[in-house]
Structure 1
Amino acid sequence: MIWLSTVSLAAGGILAQRFKIFVLAPATIVVVVVTITLGVTQASGVWATILMMAAASVAIQMGYFLGMLIQFGMGRLLASKSSCFSDTGTARNPRSFKLRFLE
């Protein structure tokens, strides 16, 4: 159950980087189907399978949310940094610049 939750958390984070929030519904359905399949193949009880479904569903949604936060935070961080070309304090004045070959 822990590895399924971990994989679901990572999958949610990856989905957040590429897709809008509408992808969560089909992704959650896929996670539920995979969880039911794993519960049947491992001969787990009904309650254990339901617990795995809930944990995996919550994990994929939390992963998506955390992925959105990371994407938003990185976007703000990159937007707040200025590029090396935007600093006008170190630029030379073009009127005082003389070309050597013109002298």
Structure 2
Amino acid sequence: MNVPSYEEFEALQQQVADLTRQVAYLIGVGGEWMDRRQAMQALNCSESTLHRLMRMGKLIYRYEGKKPLFAADALRKYIESTLVSPASADKRVVSAIKRITA
């Protein structure tokens, strides 16, 4: 029987925790589109900043009529790229979707 070292066990435990967080995020939000208000709340930014990020190509969005809709996964990745922890990014996106749709 091959017993992993303590460090290997801790690394595996961290991987399981990360995967658990990602699965919970995907179940709650994966594949959703957010409107302008939800995106501004998740990013904690103004409307002009949101438009600037759109023009710069930092966000994935599509139009439904005249309204831009933003991919929740893309917002999460952008938030993570600004040095926010993945768990915090998940929380911001999920709370923005749930607060406004509730």
Tell me the TM-score normalised to structure 1 length: 0.28
Q: Which has the larger radius of gyration?
A: 1
Question: In proportion to residue count, which structure has more helix?
Answer: 1
Q: Which has the higher contact order (CA 8 A, sep 6+)?
A: 1
Tell me the TM-score normalised to structure 2 length: 0.29
Question: In proportion to residue count, which structure has more strand?
Answer: 2
